[in-house]
Structure 1
Amino acid sequence: MLLLGIDVGTSSVKVSVVDVESGDILASAQYPDSESEIISLRSGWAEQSPDMWWEHVQQAILKCNSLGRYNPANIAAIGIAYQMHGLVIVDESQNSLRNSIIWCDSRAVETGEEAFNALGKEKVLSHMLNSPGNFTASKLAWVKKNEPETYSKVARMMLPGDFIAMKLTGEVTTSNSALSEGILWDFKTNTISAHIMAQFGFSSGIIPEIKPVFSEHGKVKESIAEKLGLKAGIPVAYKAGDQPNNALSLNVTQPGEVAATAGTSGVIYGVTDQLLYDKQSRVNTFAHVNHTAQDQRLGVLLCINGTGSMNRWTRDLIGSSTNYIAMNNAASNIAAGSNGLYVLPFGNGAERMLNNKIVGAHLQNIDLNLHTQAHIFRAVQEGIAFSFRYGLDILRENGMQPSVIRAGRSNLFMSDIFSQTFVNVTGVPVELYENDGSYGAAVGAGIGANIFKTVSEAFSNKKPVKLVEPTKETLEDEYQAWKKLLQQQLEPLNK
């Protein structure tokens, strides 16, 4: 028996097929090979086409099937992970009405702030655990105000994973976890937020049917199954945002457990059983994949927009012939601290942990007679690690005190330089696992389809492949110097 996991990322779509009995990934495929386009019509805007995602999902599944390592007829359930906070709107015929306004788009910050003040900050935080910020509800309100003709045609609003499930099944569903990441869920009443719906003037009919994360969200249509070489009627049994899903893929589901990722964006995600919120909304609390009203499991999320994107920008700036392995090798020849060169990696929109300020990316203290490409490569990875430390300290203020952090051995965590810098500057060991978002989505499907009876059963075969522990090289002085530079950039923005 097999499970299919789909991970709709910002850069590409990845799919994996997992064997239920062994827990092994039999095959994986990514589409496209190059990074997907982000459309930025104005500074701070970021959009992608939902129909592009759907085309990439289909191509990735067909590519995976073509490897010949499994029989697609044996796939028993499908799970979907997706980039969080994106807005997708469709008409009555389930056609997308505009590009998705994706997670790193900053246009709705002012809209969210107006709602935050109008409703009352304490009310919003105590009920929704977050400021509306530039999350999905605020993005929809922006469309309502600025594109009224488009808004008038909206039959349903949804998150990116809801859209892909709809294309597979024809059914439109969502979950409390998805609605919480859009700041549409009231944790005190365990219902859609009446406050937000009234503030923005949304009709209740615009929200899809709400189902548990682990449950059937529709069955694959015959026409789609035939096109993709699958059996008709396979259930889509799981949908979750990429960060809750990443936590699931690392078996992070219980209070005190913490996961991290360093892909396009960087995230630290810890689980709690308390309705926690940061009074400045620098970190965000969402319903975790296993959250219920009776058994609370909340994910406290710290996001840094520009991590892998900063590393990619550096690679592209230096030249297309440079790859990440060569960058890592060059950086390894430079001493820790990069000879005083510092990088602020905040060039990807408004940063929530910086109170929704747009700081921009900066290279500081460049010495034209000393610093080389290799210094830049190392300083970029150190700057990203320092930004994680800055965010982790905010999480610590809010009660998170991780003794170990789990991460997939992918993206920046494939770099020994980054991994060791992350551990040394935070003081927290990291367990690295061989898995990714598509693996987590596949396992989630197994749980949702009751193929696995418990989460523990689903991950019984998974062990860490590496433990990275702190060394004597703490980089505390370098971090404090970096933090001072950041505060200098923030000072005029805070006036």
Structure 2
Amino acid sequence: MSYIIGIDVGTSSLKGILVTKQGNVVATRQQEYGLETPQPGFSEQHPAVWTDALVSVLKQLLTDVPEAAQKTEGISFSGQMHSLVLLNDEGEILRNAILWNDVRTTPQCEEITRTLGDELIDITKNKALEGFTLPKLLWVKDNEPDIWQDVARFLLPKDYVGFFLTGNQQMEYSDAAGTLLLNTGEKEWSQKILQAFDIPEKICPPLVESSDCIGYIKTGLATDIGFDTPVAVYSGGADNACAALAAGITSSGLALASIGTSGVFLSYEDDPKGSYGGHLHYFNHADKDRYYSMGVTLAAGHSLSWFKQTFASTKSYDELLGNISSVPIGSDNLLFTPYIAGERTPYTDSHIRGSFVGISVGHTLDHFARAVIEGITFSLKDSQELMKQYAGKTFDAIVSVGGGAKNQDWLQIQADVFNTKIVTLASEQGPALGAAMIAAVGANWFDSMTDCSREFVAYDKEYLPDDNHVSAYDTCYRHYRKVYPATKNIFN
């Protein structure tokens, strides 16, 4: 039996899975870690928390399956996007990593937009947002000149973990696309952007493909972890690209609806010149020479957890949602907009806040619970509508993962709101499985990600749209779309 390992370097934890050639996950381990928030709006981590967690998780996996010490052929990574790691000439960490959810860089985003205008979208396919890496680089340059003068290289989290294991520094395209420094179509660092902001090209790491071998786990470290034979390390992919692989999004016709703390609606793309004018994210895929488009709801599952904690803290989620099927479509004219932390798609508005609209004396907790579920789903439909508007996209099926895939009523609501068949995964392992797929292709277990997907990804239940429900939800969605323009000036 041979194995590969997939690692997901997340924001709050690191997850590792041990996988066979048949795609069977035989062991799973996870270790949590915290964030540092030295000031409001700041979000940081020291990269040592990732590497400490990695060593611990790998040791636990080898304890769970002892023969993996001799029969692990490769390891690869998924990682949180955008988060900035700065190294000096000796490869030493210069400061805490500035994370994707850090919002200190609004002035730098304004500077980028003012300097480059539409060229930014032409080159990178994306707007300048606080989460991206370039604004973080400029913030350090503007505010920490002593650190900036010592910067020899910047990396992203999973690339730093790869450097820790192998001693080699590089970045693959799906993560590089989230830096705002990559020419996504040409697959090279943009000289135009680097020169515009006086950033030395030498601090940008060499670019590689996701399934390229970047080296082997260093001998002493491998021995300490417990490996008895050399283990190849493959570059990996951005977390959303890996989540797409894990859901089988390797060809047209499928989309992904992921509802975690935030929400993602994601579609496969194959046009290097494609773009949605910045209305959606457009990134290189972990599948070589392919791309994906993506819209983001900032507070998807977060809206539901906030609602539960605030109004039904003693109930479980099953209890909270247990009666929503008895509530009519549209929650008896009660609408919820999930903008409790601002919104990304389609408005890019950090000032907007959520609303319940249409509250009446007849509404119960069940009405409010269903309204929250419907509002989250409407917000994701905004991204689906942009894909239809700008690219004429329709889908044969949408793969639902995360919290939205854990409740049958919510799955049916998704089918009706999206007017598309919804499918769930037989085993949901998330981005760690995508990382394992990258290692499997890198190790030549499969010729392509599509071939690997056929073996590793299995679907379970299907939910078909009900024509009567679709019609009713079309009306509800039109009303939902009126709430943002009616309330934005209040919050701004």
Give TM-score scaled by structure 2 length: 0.90
Choose which of 454, 457, 471 in structure 1 pairs with 2:451.
457
Q: Give me the whole-angstrom Cα distance separating, in 2, the residues matched to 1:96 and 1:362.
A: 43
How much is the aligned-residue C-alpha RMSD, in angstroms?
2.6
SS in 1 for 2:354: strand
Asked if the contact 1:237–1:446 (Cα under 8 Å) also holds between the matched residues in 2, the reply is: no
Are the counterparts in 2 of residues 330 and 377 from structure 1 also a CA contact under 8 Å? no
Shift of 1:216: 0.8
The secondary structure found in structure 2 opposite 1:214 is coil
The answer to whether structure 1 residue 466 and structure 2 residue 461 are counterparts is: yes
- What is the one-letter code of the residue matched to 2:385? D
1:467 counterpart SS class: strand
- Specify the SS of the correspondent of 1:337: coil
Aligned pairs for 1:174-189 within 5 A: 174-187=171-184, 189=186
| The one of 385, 390, 407 aligned to 1:398 | 390
Question: What is residue 25 of structure 1 aligned with on the other side?
Answer: 25
Matches of residues 413-432 of structure 1 in structure 2 within 5 Å? 413-432=405-424
1-structure distance, mates of 2:366, 2:227: 47
Which residue of the partner structure matches residue 5 of structure 2? 4
Q: Which residue of 1 aligns with 2:127?
A: 131
Partner deviation per Cα, 1:344-391 (whole Å, 9 max, x = no partner): 222335525313443233344445x54444444332222110100112
**What residue number does 1:190 align with?**
187
Q: In the TM superposition, what are the counterparts of 1:46-57 in structure 2 within 5 Å?
A: 46-57=43-54
How many residues are treated as equivalent by the alignment?
A: 483
User: What is the distance in 2 between the residues matched to 1:101 and 1:350?
Assistant: 21
Q: Aligned in 2, Cα 1:483/1:349: closer, same or farther, shift over 3 Å?
A: closer
AA paired with 2:283? F
Q: Distance in 1 between matches of 2:60 and 2:330?
A: 43
Determine if contact 1:109/1:356 at 8 Å carries over to the other structure: no
Structure 2: gaps spanning 5 or more residues: none
- C-alpha deviation, 1:239, in angstroms: 1.0
Counterpart residue identity of residue 248, structure 1: L
Summarize the Cα distance change of 1:16–1:328 in structure 2 as closer, same or farther, 3 Å threshold: farther
Distance in 2, matches of 1:118 and 1:379, equals 42
TM-score by length of 1: 0.89
Task: Answer with 95-104 or 167-176: which moved more.
Answer: 95-104
Letter in 2 for 1:132: A
Shift of 1:333: 4.8
2:341 is the counterpart of 1:345 = no
Quote the offset at 1:330 in angstroms: 4.8
State whether structure 2 residue 408 is matched by structure 1 residue 411: no
Distance 1:454 1:336, change over 3 A: same
Aligned counterpart, 2:70: 73
> C-alpha separation between the residues in 2 aligned to 1:267 and 1:392?
10
Q: CA deviation at 1:485?
A: 1.6
Percent sequence identity is 25
TM-superposed CA distance for 1:141, in Å, is 1.0
Q: Which runs of 5 or more residues in structure 1 are unaligned?
A: none
Distance between the aligned counterparts of 1:124 and 1:158, measured in 2? Answer: 21
From the superposition, tell whether residues 9 and 348 of structure 1 become closer, same or farther in structure 2 (CA, over 3 Å): farther
Distance in 1 of aligned mates of 2:71 and 2:115:
53
* Cα distance between partner residues in 1 of 2:67 and 2:329: 46
User: Aligned to 1:438, what secondary structure does the other structure show?
Assistant: helix
Per the TM alignment, residue 278 of structure 1 is displaced from its structure 2 partner at its CA by: 2.4
Alpha-carbon offset, residue 120 of structure 1: 3.1
Aligned to 1:171: 168
Deviations 1:146-181, CA, capped at 9 Å, x for gaps: 222232232221112112212222221102222211
Q: Give the CA deviation at 1:111.
A: 1.6
Matches within 5 A, 1:15-414: 15-20=16-21, 22-32=22-32, 36-68=33-65, 71-121=68-118, 123-134=119-130, 135-187=132-184, 189-231=186-228, 233-274=230-271, 275-279=273-277, 281-292=278-289, 297-318=290-311, 322-348=315-341, 351-367=344-360, 369-407=361-399, 409-414=401-406
SS across alignment from 1:339? coil
Answer whether contact 1:26 1:70 (CA < 8 A) is retained. Answer: no
1:19/1:321 CA distance change after superposition, 3 Å: farther
- Pair 380,38 (structure 1): closer, same or farther in 2 beyond 3 Å: farther
Q: CA deviation at 1:256?
A: 4.5
Quickly say closer, same or farther: Cα 1:408–1:339, change in 2 above 3 A: closer
User: Does the CA contact (< 8 Å) of 2:312 and 2:320 recur in 1?
Assistant: no
3-state SS of paired residue (1:30): strand
2:264–2:295 CA contact under 8 A, matched in 1: yes
Deviation at 1:311, TM superposition (A): 2.6
1:32-60 Cα shifts (integer Å, max 9, x gaps):
3xxx5444455544333432233333333
**Structure 2 equivalent of residue 480 of structure 1:** 478
Q: Please give the alpha-carbon distance, in whole angstroms, between the structure 2 residues aligned to 1:332 and 1:58.
A: 46
8 Å contact 2:268–2:292 — kept in the other structure? yes
